[in-house]
């Protein structure tokens, strides 16, 4: 038989080890929470002393909400210590309204300071919509951009429902109240109604590009059939201003703002996410993108480039 004293001692040892592990985890969480987020997320006034500051706002992944980006842009526009703003875009676009709200915030910010759009891997559709609000657009030669257009999608489930013996029914107040429903035929009248909406939202995009790029509407329409362009092609077509990555974008922005010497980049610190901190930043952001991927079969109208 086990000695009761030894058994009690073993239990105490296991408990002590468990408590130490918990303490280490808590210590790690506290340490990460109080440390700066790294990269360009400088917030210290001591570091900024004597250096011109540029606010950086990142638009990453599908654009489904606008609150955080709009808030950051407005904050930098009102902050006298921020001399200019860079909108760093790596997005296939997204929902129409959030894209327009961020675009409007960019246009308003330009009334107070210079704003430069810096395109990373992808700045298509709604991502490009946001970019045309800036004073200058910088893209890499291989950036995917353009995709000027609007899309709305539906799924027809009627044949599937017939096979499983399910029938959809609706009581409605008007002919088009259930327009787009996947349980009834999509009629020509439905198509006309939705096409009129698509055409109107499309022209909103075209006019924004025409205004931002100082192009004739006819010229924009010739480019706006939904196709994508490389950054190099976009430069030749007048859709962007210069070639370069983030480093070049910083140099261009500093010059526009009259900043002498090396500028200080300022980014909002991300809210602490323990799981995300445990994972590498690259892996975590990949998961974020996949988790928030947009399907055009969800209700809504999109400024979105998607291969789904």
Whether residue 95 lies inside any domain: the answer is yes
Is the CB of residue 131 less than 8 Å from the CB of residue 280? no
Whether residue 53 lies inside any domain: the answer is yes
Whether residue 34 lies inside any domain: the answer is no
Is the CB of residue 255 less than 8 Å from the CB of residue 176? no
Whether residue 166 lies inside any domain: the answer is no
Range list of H helices, 258-296: 274-278, 281-291
Whether residue 12 lies inside any domain: the answer is no
Low-confidence ranges of the chain (pLDDT < 70): 1-18, 27-50, 270-299, 307-308
User: Which range of residues forms the domain containing residue 221?
Assistant: 45-155+176-304
177 assigned to active site? yes
Cross-strand bridge partners of residue 89: 59, 119
End-to-end CA distance of the chain: 66
Q: What is the pLDDT of residues 217-244, one digit of tens each?
A: 999 999 999 999 999 999 999 999 999 9
Q: How many domains does the chain have?
A: 1
From the candidates 125, 147, 249, 306, give the one annotated as an active-site residue: 125
Q: What is the pLDDT of residue 48?
A: 47
- In this structure, the strands spanning 82-91 and 53-60 are parallel
Q: Which residue has the tokens 């995009």?
A: 205
From the candidates 11, 177, 260, 286, give the one annotated as an active-site residue: 177
Is the CB of residue 203 less than 8 Å from the CB of residue 127? no
Q: Closest Cα partner for 136 from 257, 34, 300?
A: 257
Q: What are phi and psi of 138, to 5 degrees?
A: -115, 130
> Could you tell me the CATH number of the domain that includes residue 130?
3.90.226.10
Q: What is the pLDDT of residues 141-195, one digit of tens each?
A: 999 999 999 998 777 777 777 788 887 777 889 888 888 787 788 889 999 999 9
């Amino acid at each position: 038989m086990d000695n009761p004293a030894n058994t009690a001692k073993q239990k105490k040892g296991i408990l002590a080890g468990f408590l130490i592990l918990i303490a280490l985890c808590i210590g790690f969480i506290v340490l990460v929470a109080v440390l700066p987020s790294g990269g360009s997320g400088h917030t210290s006034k001591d570091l900024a002393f004597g250096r011109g500051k540029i606010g950086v706002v990142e638009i990453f992944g599908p654009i489904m909400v606008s609150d955080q980006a709009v808030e950051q842009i407005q904050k930098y526009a009102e902050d006298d210590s921020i001399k200019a703003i860079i909108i760093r875009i790596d997005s296939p676009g997204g929902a129409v309204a959030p894209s327009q709200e961020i675009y409007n915030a960019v246009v308003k910010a330009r009334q107070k300071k210079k704003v430069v759009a810096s395109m990373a891997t992808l700045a298509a559709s709604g991502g490009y919509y946001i970019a045309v609000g800036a004073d200058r657009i910088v893209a890499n030669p291989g950036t995917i951009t353009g995709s000027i257009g609007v899309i709305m999608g539906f799924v027809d489930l009627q044949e599937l429902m017939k096979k499983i013996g399910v029938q959809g029914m609706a009581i409605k107040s008007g002919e088009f109240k259930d327009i787009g429903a996947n349980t009834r035929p999509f009629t020509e009248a439905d198509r006309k109604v939705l096409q009129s909406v698509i055409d109107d939202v499309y022209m909103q995009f075209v006019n924004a590009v025409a205004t931002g790029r100082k192009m004739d509407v006819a010229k924009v329409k010739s480019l706006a059939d939904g196709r994508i362009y490389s950054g190099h092609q976009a430069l030749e077509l007048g859709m962007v201003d210069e070639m370069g990555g983030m480093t070049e974008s910083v140099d261009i922005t500093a010059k526009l703002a009259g900043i002498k010497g090396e500028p200080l980049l300022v980014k909002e610190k991300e809210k602490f996410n323990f799981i995300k901190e445990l994972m590498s930043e690259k892996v975590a952001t990949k998961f974020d993108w996949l988790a928030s991927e947009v399907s055009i079969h969800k209700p809504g109208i999109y400024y979105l480039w998607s291969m789904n």
